[in-house]
């Protein structure tokens, strides 16, 4: 029996104005795997991620995600709050009542995982966009998150940084046994995932092996052009 890190069943969500965003949406991500979520503009991808993270509440259906859950936003400036790399990673540990040596051990472990240990004392403002995203991911690792949710984390990055980030996340997921769901609109990023979902008008219309899904999207590019959800 497959063990799932993320399970969503018959999930529906609508805004206060009555607009339906998700309609009986169902998906499952096996524990320890790296899956991606694609779909047309406004189809509900980002909303679905926020529902899984518990940032929004659905109107019906079920959402289960192994705790703790880490969330990486499209723009890292929206979640990095401390002046230096090490301080920002440590900030997420405030509620865990750890002693200083335990905090530093967690910070060092997380920065090693994203290959940023050498920038521990670097000011956040002096980082590149890709480095900032890796700091955000390190924050989730430091909290020992079981599930990692990433909302188009390469959208604001240059091509080299895009590839570096997706490769690093794939490596972290496999090394640490995390469960990850990554929202993207870049077909080439599917090369790094274990599986993918295609969302359309709030419904899951395809899922599984990324190869056939990638071929389908490239044949019908209007079905994979995404920006926000």
Q: Which of 53, 78, 98, 56 is nearest to 153 (CA)?
A: 78
Q: CA 111 to CA 108: how far, in whole Å? A: 5
What is the widest separation between alpha-carbon atoms in the chain? 55
Given 92, 113, 145, the domain boundary residue is 145
Q: Is 219 exposed, middle or buried (0-12, 13-18, 19+ CB in 10 A)?
A: exposed
| Band of pLDDT at residue 43, cut at 50, 70 and 90 | confident
Q: Are residues 152 and 217 in the same domain?
A: yes
pLDDT tens digits for 148-203? Answer: 999 999 998 999 899 999 999 999 999 999 999 999 988 889 999 999 999 988 99
Average pLDDT, the chain: 91
Both 173 and 220 in a single domain? yes
The C-alpha atoms of residue 124 and residue 77 are separated, in whole angstroms, by 9
Residues 141 and 152 grouped into a single domain: no
Identify the pLDDT of residue 224. 43
Residue 72 falls within a domain, yes or no?
Answer: no
Helices (H), 31-158: 45-53, 85-91, 100-113, 129-142
Last residue of a domain, one of 90, 123, 145: 145
pLDDT digits (tens, 9 = 90+) for 90-148: 999 998 989 999 999 999 999 999 999 999 999 999 999 999 999 999 999 999 999 99
Same domain, 50 and 37: yes
Query: Which of 130, 145, 160 is the endpoint of a domain?
Result: 145
Domain of residue 40 covers: 1-67+146-229
15 shares its domain with 60: yes
Q: How many domains would you assign to the chain?
A: 2
159 shares its domain with 111:
no
pLDDT tens-digit readout, 129-139: 999 999 999 99
CATH number at residue 42: 3.40.50.300
pLDDT, one tens digit per residue, over 54-88 is 999 999 999 999 999 999 999 999 999 999 999 99
């Amino acid at each position: 029996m497959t063990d799932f890190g993320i399970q969503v069943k018959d999930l529906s969500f609508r805004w206060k104005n009555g607009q339906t965003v998700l309609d009986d949406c169902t998906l499952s991500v096996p524990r320890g795997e790296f899956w991606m979520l694609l779909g047309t503009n406004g189809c509900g991808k980002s909303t679905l991620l926020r529902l899984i993270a518990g940032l929004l509440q659905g109107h019906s259906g079920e959402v289960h995600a192994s705790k703790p859950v880490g969330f990486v936003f499209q723009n890292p400036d929206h979640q990095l709050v401390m002046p230096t790399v090490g301080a920002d990673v440590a900030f997420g540990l405030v509620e865990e009542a750890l002693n200083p040596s335990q905090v530093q051990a967690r910070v060092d472990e997380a920065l090693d995982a994203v290959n940023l240990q050498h920038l521990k004392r670097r000011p956040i403002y002096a980082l590149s966009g890709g480095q900032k995203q890796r700091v955000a991911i390190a924050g989730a690792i430091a909290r020992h998150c079981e599930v990692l949710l990433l909302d188009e984390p390469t959208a604001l990055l240059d091509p080299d940084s895009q590839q570096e980030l997706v490769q690093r996340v794939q490596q972290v997921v496999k090394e640490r046994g995390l469960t990850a769901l990554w929202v993207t609109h870049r077909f080439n990023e599917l090369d790094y995932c274990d599986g993918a979902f295609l969302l359309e008008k709030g419904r899951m219309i395809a899922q599984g092996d990324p190869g056939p899904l990638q071929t389908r999207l490239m044949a019908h590019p209007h079905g994979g052009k995404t920006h926000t959800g």
